[in-house]
Amino acid sequence: MISANNLIELDFNDTEIAFRNKSDKDLEKAYWLFKLISSNTLIKIGTPLTNFALKIGLPIQGIIRNTIYGQFCGGESIEGCGRAITELGRAGVKTILDYSVEGEESEESFDQTCAEILRTVAYAQKNEWIAFCVFKPTGLGRFDLFAKADTRQPLTAAEKAELDRVYRRIDRICGACHDSGIKVLIDGEHSWIQDTIDDFAREMMEKYNKEQVIVYNTYQLYRHDKLASLQADFAYAQTQNFYLGAKIVRGAYMEIERERAAELGYPSPIQPNKEASDRDYNEAIRFCLDHINRIGLMVGTHNEESSKLLVDEMTLRGLSPKNDHIYSAQLLGMSDNLSFNLAEAGYNVAKYMPYGPVKAVMPYLFRRAQENTSVGGQTTRELSLIIQEKERRRKR
Domain map (residue ranges) of the chain: 14-72+361-396, 74-355
What is the Cα–Cα distance from 290 to 180, expressed in whole angstroms?
28
250 in Cβ contact with 226 (< 8 Å): no
Crossing angle (nearest 10°) for helices 157-180 and 143-150: 100
Cα–Cα distance list, 62 to 46, 83, 298, 357, 367 (Å):
16, 19, 35, 12, 20
**Torsion angle in degrees (nearest 10) through CA of 331, 335, 340, 341:** -140
- Write the CB contacts of 157 (distance below 8 Å, at least 6 apart in sequence): none
Query: Residue 90, SS3?
Result: helix
Do 174 and 117 meet the contact criterion of CB atoms below 8 Å apart?
no
pTM of the model: 0.93
CATH number of 74-355: 3.20.20.220
Q: Which neighbouring-strand residues pair with 349?
A: 328
Alpha-carbon span 11 to 41, nearest angstrom:
34
Residue-level pLDDT, tens digit, the chain, 396 residues = 444 444 567 899 999 999 999 999 999 999 988 887 776 644 555 555 565 556 656 656 777 787 788 889 999 999 999 999 999 999 999 999 999 887 778 999 999 999 999 999 999 999 999 999 999 999 999 999 999 999 999 999 999 999 999 999 999 999 999 999 999 999 999 999 999 999 999 999 999 999 999 999 999 999 999 999 999 999 999 999 999 999 999 998 888 999 999 999 999 999 999 999 999 999 999 999 999 999 999 999 999 999 999 999 999 999 999 999 999 999 999 999 999 999 999 999 999 999 999 888 877 777 666 665 555 467 888 999 999 999 999 988
